[in-house]
Amino acid sequence: MLEGISERLDVDMVALLAAASSYERQESLEQYMSYLWSELTKLRDMGVMENISAQFTGGELITAKTGKPPIPADRIRSVLACKAEGLSQKETSVKLDIPKSTVHKIWHMPAQNP
């Protein structure tokens, strides 16, 4: 349906989604665009944007492997913040109340350059 509306109005579907989202959030379009920019910046800072092409093949999204879900971005940021503060892995595990194995995995992730 959204595709049909966007074709009829000759407007990109993403613009329609942005308009609907700003309305739903009861924000001006400018406020919503500022929020959206901050969300896109988060994706860039996590390295998602530079690796996005690896998530598609032949224009189709690659289905994720079964198994453990990915580590949430906020958890990664929290661990890296502790690391930057000079805390040890054990101190970070205790402070954030997460398994030492998770802290270790995040601690040794390759650095992403935004």
Beta bridge partners of 61: 56
> What's the pLDDT tens digit per position in 50-90?
777 777 888 888 776 777 778 888 999 999 999 999 999 99
pTM: 0.45
Give residue 8's pLDDT.
Answer: 92
Average pLDDT of every residue of the chain: 88
Domains of the chain by residue range: 2-45, 73-107
